[in-house]
Structure 1
Amino acid sequence: MRMALDLGLHRALEKLADADGAKKRSEEEERNLVVSARIWLCLYWFDHQMSLGTGRPIVLRDESSIRHCRLLLSHPMASPTDVRLISQVELIAQKTQIYETLSPLNGQVNHNTLSFIRRANIALDKWYADCDELHRQTMDEEALPRKILVGELHYAKLWLVCVALRGVSWDKMPFEQRELAFQAKDAASNCLSNLLDSHTYRAALRYAVHDTLVMAAFSGLFLLKMANLFPAELDLGQITVQVEQLAQLLSDVAAERYALTLRIMLANLRRKVGLPPAWRPRRPWWAWRDAPGRRGPGRGDDGPAAAVVHRPEHRAPAAVHGRGGRRVGARPAHVQPGVDPALAPGTVVYGSLTGVVRVHVQSLTDLGLPQNGSDGIFLNVGHTNGWMGDFPPMPEAW
């Protein structure tokens, strides 16, 4: 970023907006300005995204440097990907304004806060309408960039409420804060439905950047938090199915850090509300739906029905002994999460055939956004600062 500032890239868009200067520039100079503008916009987005995701201060605070970003869309040297870049920059600028307004309040939701949240939601809807119109000119409704745009809208609305509710005590929520929490629940569910119901989006997830994986995983985690806090007011069956499908999808794209966190939280929820444990299918659920010429239910071991049959040879042993003589449920070739009543409340035991790991999940009662972003939510697997246990190596691309 400092190199970009030294090179003057932050002035590239301003120079492109200068009509008089354009007449004096050669084609090569014009091309260099366009490239410089794109680099600067990417740096601006990355800096702000890292700040919102980790809690560190923003470095590039000159909002005037992106004021003319839409000039790229009508420029003769415009690229098809400029639409996506512009939409990202405009969204992160709005999210930065939201964060800087709500974060100092530390969960104090009053009339002015609610009014700001309503205005922010309207602004997000307008951002989506404007950017989707730009995408619609060259893409159909099922195109990946448009699906991503929909997901980002729902996640931004979820994120907005999580920033507003940071530090709020869930058992003392007034009506206004509860309404915000349920609005965020709808946004999280819509975000996951947009991903899980789109074959194009799912297929592209294996190439996704870290932020896209966090977006999906955090949405699932928020649904589990809401189900944990308000089990009588939500459809627990729908939530658990959505989160199970998401966890399987994340495992399939080597994002095991997020999948494992979701499975542990889901197991904790099942134990708390008395839901029966789920068995993971041998193939992901969308493989049956998307496979051409798939067999119907009950037509042999390759059909969907066979994937969910509880065969005797697949049943887990009653228990194995973990450290300290505790009995920890397990199943062959997999580890199984659960809650050990002998431990402190809010502690999950994740046992394998040879060991046990304790994971604290007090965050299930906190609907706010942690100060340190995703590192304060998701487990670190296989790292020196992460879990210690006798786990087999897990696929991890991120």
Structure 2
Amino acid sequence: MDTTPQKRSPDDAGFGSPRENKARSVPKISKARACAECKRHKIRCEFRAGESTCTKCTRSGIKCVVNDFSQKFVDDDGIWKSQANATMNQLQAAVSHLLRQAGLPELSTYAPGDTLNGPSPAASYHGHHPSVDRSQTQTSHQEGLGVVMDVTREPSPEQDLQDPELVPAPMRSLYEVTKLRNLRNNHVEAPKQTLLEEDFISRRLISLHEAEELFAYFSRTMNQLLWGGIILVHRDLTSVRRASTLLSAAVLTVAALHIPNRTETLNRCYSEYVSLVSNMALTRAHTLDDIRGLCVGAFWLSELSWKLSGHAVRIATEMGLHQSYQRLTRGHVDQYERAQLWYLLYVCDHHFSIAYGRPPVIHEDVVIRNYETFLALPMVVPGDIRLLAQVALFMILTEAYRMFGSDTEQALTDEDFGQLRVYNVAVDQWRLLWQPRSADSAYVRTYPSKGVVLHYHFAKFQLNSLALRALSPSNTPVFSMDRKESANIAISSAMACLNMVLEEPDIRDAIVGVPIFTHTMVTFSAVFLLKVAINWNTAYLSINSRQVRRLVERVIELMNCVSAGERHLTRHIARGLGKMLERFDSWEAAWQFQGSNDTVEGRDVPGGANAMAQGFPPPDLIYGMVGTYGFGLDENLLDPSMADFDFLTQ
């Protein structure tokens, strides 16, 4: 027998035609549909039309289980596709989230063949990525080690040189050339969703019950005093917590400051608020409610007011609020709330510009000057009228600031009083216009119209106190008639401020909840009158020292008897004015006891050197306090505890 191995044909070896090979590669699925019982007995399995059980299983009365392998493949394939689709949807959601976090375009903008930051063949050949340089690569490796400078570039297409916007902001041109993401003009990240489960109330820093109580107190008092509730538009605590943790912390902190016996709560809320403000300093994800949260703190937290107001203005300009008025006048009614907030920021900025004697940040551009156009809009509320009344007043005072400067050692010349008289007339006209327009409120009664009168006296006092700037009895032997007239207006206006706070029920009842600007002006009026009464006798100015003493004494009584927290500003005002009144009494006692004039530092001083030894500041130091509007004073002259006051350490 021939045992020589036979050479296999191509067909035997599986190397047939391509069509035959393809046919062999596809597994054949059996079409047999025999049930398990028939298959076990190896008999024909027959089904009658419309029945799901074979004839044998029907006769035997047993369950008919069909082994349909083709259906099993179909079912398995459907399950796999469903799982694959679910996984793909998860991946798409994850990639979209990462793109948003990185500030990159939406996933739908990428073509199917595109790669995210994947190098092109040419870039790989040259060893350089078209949109990620060496610094960025180093950044990615250092992310786990700390914060590094972001130098990532945008993948957006290049700008066309025929762009119709020929003169954009300079930084935008730099961005168009470099595509550096951190240079993008007006780039504001979308804020992360505020989760109630993560805020300080959920962390039990304060109970929900107490938080609800504080929110309700703020809503019906301070919020109504500040222009009818436009600073806080949320109706319940849950809404404000979802909108902005910063705003909810500000509201609860301010409320706890005003309610007696809430010192522990105040400490916790204040610490949380300061922490939130610090954490947001370098972020770009902000909302309108975050700006409101900064403003609430600025209006009522004295030690933070200047920094918070400036920070709020910077964030607002980054968000484009200064352009909202123009969009509103072009028919975009959704810009109303943003434009309203810009006017509020203007007033907030100017409150503390005046209080600290510093230049304001927001200037009187077309938006500020055209406030009457804003008031003509159909969606305007009564609070807008009260707010815009303040805008109109601070426009006058700011113009005076620029006219007369802020140098506390520069006295007004006789020629300056003509312009000062113009500003006085403007303030008189302001009162005549805005007092009738300010309607009463169900919450604060006549405070809106009476508040216009109070601020009228504030403004007259601020303007005319300039008559005494850089002057004292030792260097001003003779007053001109214009200077004496203005100085006497300042005195009468300061006394009117104090009398109104003491005599008008709706003003007196609101003295605790008003913003600190009002407290500042009331305090300064009292200090001004005490110092003028000591240093300028009736030969110079029309002032009665006994009347002044009684007024200040009543202000101290009012500040001591109001219902407020232990660290509220009224407590410090009462203590500081009390110390100053003691010095005033010592001065007067020494003067009456000696009954003679001694010479101190080359000038005649009532009471002489013994009176000076009692500790009342010399006139040259006193009148150093009369800044642009009578400010620029050393806070320690009022109360040492008020300088750099910190709620957590006092």
Structure 2 equivalent of residue 15 of structure 1:
327
Structure 2 equivalent of residue 229 of structure 1:
535
TM-aligned CA distance change 1:225 to 1:45, over 3 Å: same
Task: Provide, for residues 57-100 of structure 1, a one-character-per-residue CA deviation record: whole Å limited to 9, x for no partner.
Answer: 32222522212222333322111211110011111111111111
Matched, 1:214 2:520: yes
TM-aligned CA distance change 1:65 to 1:375, over 3 Å: farther
Q: Given that residues 53 and 373 in structure 1 are in contact (C-alpha distance below 8 angstroms), is that contact kept between their aligned partners in structure 2? A: no
Structure 2 equivalent of residue 271 of structure 1:
586
Q: Given that residues 465 and 486 in structure 2 are in contact (C-alpha distance below 8 angstroms), is that contact kept between their aligned partners in structure 1? A: no
Indicate which of 121, 124, 139 corresponds to 2:424: 121
Structure 1 equivalent of residue 641 of structure 2:
381
Q: How does 1:329-368 map to 2 (within 5 A)?
A: 345=613, 347=615, 363-364=621-622, 368=626
Indicate which of 166, 187, 194 corresponds to 2:469: 166
Q: Given that residues 636 and 642 in structure 2 are in contact (C-alpha distance below 8 angstroms), is that contact kept between their aligned partners in structure 1? A: no
Identity of aligned residues (%): 24
Task: Provide, for residues 322-367 of structure 1, a one-character-per-residue CA deviation record: whole Å limited to 9, x for no partner.
Answer: xxxxxxxxxxxxxxxxx9x87963615xxxxxxxxxx899744557
Q: Given that residues 157 and 184 in structure 1 are in contact (C-alpha distance below 8 angstroms), is that contact kept between their aligned partners in structure 2? A: yes
TM-aligned CA distance change 1:365 to 1:66, over 3 Å: closer
Structure 2 equivalent of residue 97 of structure 1:
399
Give the partner amino acid of 2:323: R
Equivalent-residue separation in structure 1 for 2:552 and 2:378 (angstroms): 45
Structure 1 equivalent of residue 269 of structure 2:
none
Q: How does 1:143-158 map to 2 (within 5 A)?
A: 143-158=446-461
TM norm structure 2: 0.43
* CA displacement at 1:167 relative to structure 2: 1.5
Q: How does 1:279-298 map to 2 (within 5 A)?
A: none
Q: Given that residues 102 and 164 in structure 1 are in contact (C-alpha distance below 8 angstroms), is that contact kept between their aligned partners in structure 2? A: no
Task: Provide, for residues 118-164 of structure 1, a one-character-per-residue CA deviation record: whole Å limited to 9, x for no partner.
Answer: 1000000111111112115889x970111111111111111112234
Q: How does 1:231-270 map to 2 (within 5 A)?
A: 231-232=537-538, 234-253=543-562, 254=568, 255-270=570-585
Q: Given that residues 324 and 339 in structure 2 are in contact (C-alpha distance below 8 angstroms), is that contact kept between their aligned partners in structure 1? A: yes
Equivalent-residue separation in structure 2 for 1:372 and 1:234 (angstroms): 23
Q: Given that residues 590 and 610 in structure 2 are in contact (C-alpha distance below 8 angstroms), is that contact kept between their aligned partners in structure 1? A: no
Structure 2 equivalent of residue 196 of structure 1:
502
Give the partner amino acid of 2:319: L
Indicate which of 88, 96, 114 corresponds to 2:390: 88
* CA displacement at 1:252 relative to structure 2: 2.9
> What secondary structure is seen at the aligned counterpart in 2 of 1:75?
coil
TM-aligned CA distance change 1:103 to 1:346, over 3 Å: farther
Equivalent-residue separation in structure 2 for 1:39 and 1:382 (angstroms): 30
* CA displacement at 1:217 relative to structure 2: 1.1
Give the partner amino acid of 2:327: K
Structure 1 unaligned segments of length 5 or more: list them. 277-338, 349-358, 387-394
Give the partner amino acid of 1:266: L
* CA displacement at 1:238 relative to structure 2: 1.8
Relative contact order (C-alpha < 8 Å, sep 6+): which is higher?
A: 1
Give the partner amino acid of 1:252: C
* CA displacement at 1:374 relative to structure 2: 7.0
Task: Provide, for residues 297-331 of structure 1, a one-character-per-residue CA deviation record: whole Å limited to 9, x for no partner.
Answer: xxxxxxxxxxxxxxxxxxxxxxxxxxxxxxxxxxx
Equivalent-residue separation in structure 2 for 1:375 and 1:78 (angstroms): 39
Structure 1 equivalent of residue 485 of structure 2:
179
> What secondary structure is seen at the aligned counterpart in 2 of 1:109?
coil
Equivalent-residue separation in structure 2 for 1:104 and 1:382 (angstroms): 23
* CA displacement at 1:244 relative to structure 2: 0.5
> What secondary structure is seen at the aligned counterpart in 2 of 1:189?
helix
> What secondary structure is seen at the aligned counterpart in 2 of 1:170?
coil
> What secondary structure is seen at the aligned counterpart in 1 of 2:457?
helix
Structure 2 unaligned segments of length 5 or more: list them. 1-312, 563-567, 592-606
TM norm structure 1: 0.68
* CA displacement at 1:110 relative to structure 2: 2.7
TM-aligned CA distance change 1:174 to 1:11, over 3 Å: same
TM-aligned CA distance change 1:55 to 1:65, over 3 Å: same
TM-aligned CA distance change 1:374 to 1:37, over 3 Å: farther
Indicate which of 414, 417, 434 corresponds to 1:131: 434
Q: Given that residues 84 and 145 in structure 1 are in contact (C-alpha distance below 8 angstroms), is that contact kept between their aligned partners in structure 2? A: yes
* CA displacement at 1:214 relative to structure 2: 0.9
Equivalent-residue separation in structure 2 for 1:374 and 1:149 (angstroms): 29
> What secondary structure is seen at the aligned counterpart in 2 of 1:127?
helix
* CA displacement at 1:220 relative to structure 2: 1.2
Q: Given that residues 559 and 574 in structure 2 are in contact (C-alpha distance below 8 angstroms), is that contact kept between their aligned partners in structure 1? A: yes
Instruction: Report the RMSD for the aligned CA atoms in angstroms.
Output: 3.5
Matched, 1:78 2:380: yes
Equivalent-residue separation in structure 2 for 1:219 and 1:203 (angstroms): 19
Give the partner amino acid of 1:155: F
TM-aligned CA distance change 1:347 to 1:214, over 3 Å: same
> What secondary structure is seen at the aligned counterpart in 1 of 2:359?
coil
* CA displacement at 1:211 relative to structure 2: 0.6
Equivalent-residue separation in structure 2 for 1:154 and 1:234 (angstroms): 17
Equivalent-residue separation in structure 2 for 1:342 and 1:275 (angstroms): 7
Q: Given that residues 52 and 373 in structure 1 are in contact (C-alpha distance below 8 angstroms), is that contact kept between their aligned partners in structure 2? A: no
> What secondary structure is seen at the aligned counterpart in 1 of 2:424?
helix
Equivalent-residue separation in structure 1 for 2:610 and 2:589 (angstroms): 18
Q: How does 1:31-42 map to 2 (within 5 A)?
A: 32-42=334-344
* CA displacement at 1:274 relative to structure 2: 3.0
Q: Given that residues 121 and 157 in structure 1 are in contact (C-alpha distance below 8 angstroms), is that contact kept between their aligned partners in structure 2? A: yes
TM-aligned CA distance change 1:345 to 1:364, over 3 Å: farther
* CA displacement at 1:16 relative to structure 2: 2.7
Q: Given that residues 572 and 642 in structure 2 are in contact (C-alpha distance below 8 angstroms), is that contact kept between their aligned partners in structure 1? A: no
Paired residues in the alignment total: 307
Equivalent-residue separation in structure 1 for 2:391 and 2:347 (angstroms): 6
* CA displacement at 1:33 relative to structure 2: 1.0
Equivalent-residue separation in structure 1 for 2:344 and 2:530 (angstroms): 34
Structure 2 equivalent of residue 308 of structure 1:
none
* CA displacement at 1:382 relative to structure 2: 7.3
